[in-house]
Amino acid sequence: LLGRYGVPVPVERVARSPLEAARHAREAGFPVVVKVSSPDIPHKTEIGAVRLQLLTADEAATAYREVLAAALLNVPGARIDGVLVNRQIFPVAELIAGIVVDPQFGPLLLVGLGGIFTEVLDDVTLRMPPVDFDDAVDMLSELRGRAILEGVRGMPRGDVHAAAACLVRLGRMATELGDRIAAVDVNPLFVLADGEGVLAGDALVVLR
């Protein structure tokens, strides 16, 4: 769905055995991320069903067993589609972007500082869609942590242009599919170095 609206998504490979996880890891290129794939587990990190910075095929195979065990232990009866394997990204910044539905105003476009500290930082801004490019840039500039996107402590500047373009596309999704969507949560939206784009690291879509 995100790809249809022009939001860049990673190439993910689904493994259904430790051997497949090892092979997919070699094909993706190291380091890789391994995480359980289940419609019943929207938040994988909290239950230990994600492994990061895996450097060898053996580590990927071991991670397959570990995330599967964590999922079955913490969410008994969960439907498991397999384990996702993809190359790990090292972004300049992580955003949360998506669509929330307000009882009074309907679908709203949201962006904020993302990653695992989203709830702690509580740094978000909202707009009624659709939004144009200038609106999206304004949304990013309203964030208290905007300096992270601009490059701090020797870090490169993030691709603000690509992040704003992504918000425009999500706003179009909200406008066109607002009556079918209860929520869209892209977190993290990886912002790469200027000129390198953005990438949806993980996403949750809740339908009405």
The dihedral through the CA atoms of 64, 67, 69, 72 has a sign that is negative
pLDDT digits (tens, 9 = 90+) for 28-79: 999 999 999 999 998 899 999 999 999 999 999 999 999 999 999 999 999 9
Task: Write the secondary structure of 10-68 as one string of H (helix), E (strand) and C (coil).
Answer: CCCEEECCHHHHHHHHHHHCCCEEEEEECCCCCCCHHHCCEEEEECCHHHHHHHHHHHH
What is the pTM (predicted TM-score) of this model? 0.84
Helix (H) or strand (E) holding 9: none
Give per-residue pLDDT as tens, 119-157.
767 899 999 999 999 999 999 999 998 999 988 777 899
Quick check: 159 and 191 in contact, CB under 8 A? Answer: yes
What Rg do the C-alpha atoms of the chain give, in angstroms?
A: 18
Residue 87's pLDDT is what?
93
Cα(203)–Cα(187) distance, rounded to whole angstroms? 6
Q: What are phi and psi of 106, to 5 degrees?
A: 85, -155
| pLDDT for the residue numbered 117 | 62
Amino acid at 13: R
Query: What are 119's two structure tokens?
Result: 């709830």
> What pLDDT, in 10s, does the model give residues 148-193?
998 877 789 999 999 999 999 999 999 999 899 999 999 999 999 9
CB 113 within 8 A of CB 96: yes
Residue 181 has what pLDDT?
A: 93
